[in-house]
Amino acid sequence: MNTAGIDVSHKTLVLSVMKGGKLGKAREYANTPAGRKALLKVLKKTEVERVCLEATGTYHLDLALLLDAEGVALMVLNPKAAKRFAEALLTRNKTDRVDAGVLAHYAERMPFTPWRRPDDAVLTLRAVARQTVALKQTRTGARNRLHAMSQTELTPAAVLESIERLIDECDAQIDALRAFAREHIAAHPALAQRHRLLLGAKGIGEASAIELLGELLVLPADMAAKQWVAMAGMDPRAVSSGSSLNKPARLSKAGNRYLRQALYMPALSAAKNDPHIRAFYLDLIERRGLKKIQAVCAVMRKLLHGIHAVFKSGQPFDSARLCPPRPRPAVAG
């Protein structure tokens, strides 16, 4: 049986094919539509019967959907299971090529558990949410151009009218997509229930809730809150080397930019309007000396942890539990 392991990152796909118990030379492809099609062509040419991927948030999703549509026998492995299997193989190194080989071994030796694609209703909502984001970006760019060109009398009236029409068209399409999303959510009880839970959190409005649902519900159900944070690129990235380089940790941003964008405005709103989250936000600034943008990012992480808990429990969002008040220092009598 020919098997294949594919190590997935947000930029690359590393393919390792195993034939007759022997691994071939690993090949690397871009994690783009063209790169995924090229990889699929190799899988068919080498007559691979099983493919194993490691769950990487949404980085693997487009590839998994393509392989599933082409009838490839696919399993998507929990990262912890992949790590334990690599340890059992006494793997000493950890590189993309080594990881791909480990996944190919897993596909050959372990029981096959087929991957289940996300519900079509969720994939539809994600597509609508991402198109809405793209339209908002186009509208913002057009507004900026309109403002700049309005500052000079040299700009022809026809140009200004063209930009204004583009802004109006973007507004109309955004409204239409949001109306479609509302109807789509209402028609699917599971989406509607999660949507209500999100709207129960101060700071999360209807537009943000749609975008968050589209990104979060395609993630594997067994992902932990910390994995959500890493998937969003909200985890800290340390930069140090020897004794000469030791920079403050910054956000990795090696994650889903749509999810980060969807969290930003709710975090700003919650830091202003939710008393418990605002106390957390101010404490970061006043006691720990964080900059405002750093404190906002910390609120974004908190919100993501809170949403994870809400989705798991089905209970309403509780900011008091998410951000409990800090005990006041005792005053000496």
CA nearest neighbour of 117 among 159, 175, 58: 58
3-class DSSP state for residue 4?
Answer: strand
Tell me the sheet residues that pair with 13: 8, 29
Q: How confident is the model at residue 185 (pLDDT cuts 50, 70, 90)?
A: very high
Instruction: Compute the mean pLDDT over every residue in the chain, rounded to the nearest whole number.
Output: 87
Q: Of the ranges 12-16, 110-114, 138-142, 231-235, which is most confident?
A: 138-142
Domains of the chain (ranges, CATH numbers): 3-109 (3.30.420.40), 120-216 (1.20.58), 225-322 (no CATH)
Sign of CA dihedral 234, 202, 136, 225: positive
**In this predicted model, what pLDDT tens digit does every residue of 308-330 receive, in sequence order?**
999 999 999 999 999 988 766 55
Q: How confident is the model at residue 39 (pLDDT cuts 50, 70, 90)?
A: very high
pLDDT top residue among 54 and 130: 130
| Statement: residue 243 has pLDDT above 60 | no
pTM of the model: 0.73
State the pLDDT at residue 238: 43
Q: How confident is the model at residue 55 (pLDDT cuts 50, 70, 90)?
A: confident
3-class DSSP state for residue 68?
Answer: helix
